[in-house]
């Protein structure tokens, strides 16, 4: 593996972490991170979809006409998500119930479409697979981190193991409000480390380049 390949893979984990740096895929990040295990499994499911969607889109990048690329990508991704969903239903039914609606919603997860649009349709299949793997691992890592923090603060457990004994823990952290609170605080810590304020991405300059942007080009 040469230097460039290694770089494509590792950049997604820290330098371009999809959750904390690119700020993509907020919905599953907030919803699923109630426990470390859920966050980890959600990350793995998204990683599998991401690797295969990057591979297929990169292979088809010269075949898909530019004007209809977004619908093509979405259909492709939806097919992959369906496969993952059926596999989960068959082999891990409990997990499928916990993750519930957020599994089919991987289709509209910005990370996957954003990587297709920003990376896979311009690069070779090998680099795209590595990019997907790196981004997926970055996403898994951040979901697991948030999951560990929320699970510990909210229930006093670590991957389901009770650590604090009988001390009552503030359950607010496993409630929806806790998700916003923990993620907001983590973002502030990262902004402090990077010494650069964290901007909110406006829909208009979102990397997703969905139909919103095409429209603007037409109007120009």
At residue 140's C-alpha, the angle toward residues 209 and 49, to 5°, is 55
Q: How far is CA 62 from CA 5, 42, 67, 86, 211, in A?
A: 22, 31, 13, 30, 21
For residue 116, state whether it binds another protein (rule: CB under 8 A). no
Q: Identify which of residues 6 and 172 has a Cβ nearer to another protein in the complex.
A: 172
Phi, psi of 157 (to 5 degrees): -115, 165
In 3D, which of 94, 92, 103 has the Cα closest to residue 49? 103
Supply the minimum distance, in Å, between the C-beta of residue 25 and another protein. Answer: 9
Supply the minimum distance, in Å, between the C-beta of residue 200 and another protein. Answer: 5
Gap between the Cα atoms of 112 and 132, Å rounded: 8
Supply the minimum distance, in Å, between the C-beta of residue 165 and another protein. Answer: 27
For residue 170, state whether it binds another protein (rule: CB under 8 A). no
Enclosing H/E stretch for 158: strand 157-158
For residue 95, state whether it binds another protein (rule: CB under 8 A). no
Supply the minimum distance, in Å, between the C-beta of residue 66 and another protein. Answer: 17
DSSP state of 23: -
Q: Which of 110, 120, 134, 154 binds another protein (CB under 8 A)?
A: 110
The token pair at 86 is: 């059926």
Q: Identify which of residues 71 and 93 has a Cβ nearer to another protein in the complex.
A: 71
Task: Provide the binding-site residues for another protein, judged by CB under 8 A.
Answer: 23, 26-28, 30-31, 71, 74-75, 78-79, 81-82, 85-86, 101, 104-105, 107-110, 113, 172, 175-181, 183-185, 187-189, 191-192, 197-204, 206, 208, 210-212, 214-215
């Amino acid at each position: 593996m040469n230097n460039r390949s290694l770089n494509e893979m590792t950049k997604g984990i820290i330098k371009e972490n999809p959750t904390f740096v690119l700020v993509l895929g907020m919905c599953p990040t907030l919803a699923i991170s109630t426990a470390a295990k859920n966050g980890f499994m959600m990350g793995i499911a998204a990683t599998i979809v991401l690797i295969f969607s990057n591979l297929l889109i990169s292979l088809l990048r010269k075949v898909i006409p530019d004007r209809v690329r977004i619908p093509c990508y979405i259909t492709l991704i939806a097919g992959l998500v369906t496969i993952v969903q059926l596999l989960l239903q068959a082999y891990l039914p409990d997990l499928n119930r916990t993750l519930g609606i957020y599994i089919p919603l991987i289709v509209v997860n910005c990370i996957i479409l954003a990587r297709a649009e920003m990376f896979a349709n311009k690069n070779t299949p090998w680099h795209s697979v590595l990019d997907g793997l790196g981004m997926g691992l970055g996403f898994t890592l951040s979901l697991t981190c948030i999951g560990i923090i929320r699970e510990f603060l909210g229930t006093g457990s670590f991957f389901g193991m009770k650590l604090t004994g009988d001390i009552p823990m503030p359950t607010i952290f496993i409630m929806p409000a806790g998700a916003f609170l923990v993620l907001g605080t983590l973002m502030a810590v990262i902004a402090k480390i990077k010494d650069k304020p964290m901007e909110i991405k406006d829909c208009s300059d979102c990397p997703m380049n969905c139909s919103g942007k095409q429209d603007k080009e037409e109007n120009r």
